[in-house]
Structure 1
Amino acid sequence: MRKLLIGLLWDVGLPAVVYYGAHGLGYDVQTALVAAGVVALLRVAFVALLHRRLEVVAAIIGGTFPVLLAISLLTDDPRILLAKESVLSGAAGIALVGSCLLGRPLVYLLTPAPRSKHLTTITWLFGAVLLLDAVVRLVLVYSLPLDTMANLSPILHVGALALLAACALWFRKRRLAHAR
């Protein structure tokens, strides 16, 4: 869990630092978002080279950024880059909820624990939180001023991840208490 949290901090924190650094140096929001996205993509490549394998999630993130960057540049709409996290959260949420509807919750693939109603509940919960995060952020991307949302997006992302981590820890603690 600690390794996962450190990785998430790098994945969220590094692009945020680059965005704020570029913006602080006077670059416009779109240029700062592009710089942050490029750094995130380089991080994905670095981790893939370090571990000598490309994770599925990293591949999706890595593939999404260039597509959304191209669309953003073609339409001259930097909000599309801000919508990237909503697209990714929404896709993950749909995958998790969809896997439950198909009777094969994805969390079973991520944990060595035996199959249980507990893991199905966590899959539903994670999917629902990610879908809610995607919808809320997408609405805010197109409702709030660009600078405001660029500042708010990482906070919302970390908040959603913290909520998911807290839920997972609560369920784990509850399961261990019932096992005794």
Structure 2
Amino acid sequence: MTAEPQRIDERAPVTAATEPGNPKADLIRTAVMEVGVPLGLYYGLRAAGLGQWLALLVSGAVPLARLIHTVAAERRVSAVSLFTLSVMACGTAITLLTGDARLLLARESYLTGLLGLWMIGTLLARRPFMFTTMVRMLPEETARTWYSSWERHASFRAAMRWMSAAWGAAFLIDSAARIAMAYTLPVDLVPVLSVVLLVGMLMAIVRISKSYGRRMMARLT
């Protein structure tokens, strides 16, 4: 006799027992592998005499290989993983056909642009991006407060939607800026400027979101 699968209440926050690893440590690890390693590899290959197009192709394969390894290790393909794989694979295929280094530089803008559109698209969902993402990183007691505030306060729901829209807009701006840099600046300058742009954009939107979030939570208490 088999046991009935346990139902999980969608309102219950992810606890330390179910949450895989430390979110901050995971974020740092992801940043190193997705940004630091490819950037260092590109400039290392360029210093070794490799051409711009090939150096970009090889360094850009690192995040793709890591994503494939993660999917293989977990033995499942999430919607986010499938979306990312599709965008990266299509961008790489187009670049291989054209041999255009600038098109390869612009490939990342497709991902950030679509990510921004997705964030804005969650405004039509039951709960927007900012709520569903942040609540999983909060301590259990705080997460329960968020769920309660979502059900009880229209101002809280409006704030979550506003911040989700702001994050989506920030990624769309990032995407447009990356395309502009890819086609107007020297190729060897673009990879490091793209990282500076991304870090600066994330720092700004995180700071704004935290400040707005504190004021909003203060009004609810």
Task: Give the equivalent residue in structure 2 for 1:147.
Answer: 188
Task: Give the equivalent residue in structure 1 for 2:172.
Answer: 131
Is residue 89 from structure 1 mapped to residue 119 from structure 2 by the alignment?
no
Amino acid at match of 1:165: V
Does the aligned pair in 1 maintain the 2:105–2:191 contact within 8 Å? yes
Provide closer, same or farther for how the CA distance between residues 37 and 51 of structure 1 changes in structure 2, counting only shifts above 3 A. Answer: same
Between structures 1 and 2, the one with greater helix share: 1
Provide closer, same or farther for how the CA distance between residues 131 and 4 of structure 1 changes in structure 2, counting only shifts above 3 A. Answer: farther
Does the aligned pair in 1 maintain the 2:174–2:201 contact within 8 Å? yes
Matched-pair identity in %: 30
Task: Give the equivalent residue in structure 2 for 1:158.
Answer: 199
Instruction: Specify which structure has the bigger relative contact order, considering alpha-carbon pairs within 8 angstroms and separated by 6 or more residues.
Output: 2
Tell me the secondary structure at the aligned position of residue 71 of structure 1.
Answer: helix
Q: 21, 27, 42: which is aligned to 1:5? A: 27
Tell me the secondary structure at the aligned position of residue 100 of structure 2.
Answer: coil
Does the aligned pair in 1 maintain the 2:130–2:164 contact within 8 Å? yes
Structure 2: 5+ residue runs without aligned partners? 1-22, 136-145, 151-156
Is residue 177 from structure 1 mapped to residue 218 from structure 2 by the alignment?
yes
Does the aligned pair in 2 maintain the 1:72–1:79 contact within 8 Å? no
Does the aligned pair in 1 maintain the 2:167–2:205 contact within 8 Å? yes
Shift of 1:52: 4.9
* CA-based RMSD: 2.4
Is residue 107 from structure 1 mapped to residue 130 from structure 2 by the alignment?
yes
Structure 1: 5+ residue runs without aligned partners? none
Shift of 1:107: 3.0
- The normalised TM-score by structure 1 is 0.84
Does the aligned pair in 2 maintain the 1:95–1:127 contact within 8 Å? yes
Shift of 1:111: 4.1
Alpha-carbon distance between aligned partners in 2 of 1:50 and 1:13, rounded to the nearest angstrom: 23
Q: 72, 88, 91: which is aligned to 1:65? A: 88
Provide closer, same or farther for how the CA distance between residues 122 and 162 of structure 1 changes in structure 2, counting only shifts above 3 A. Answer: same
Structure 1 stretches of at least 4 aligned residues deviating more than 6 Å after TM superposition? none
How many residues in Structure 1 have an aligned counterpart in Structure 2? 179
Amino acid at match of 1:2: K
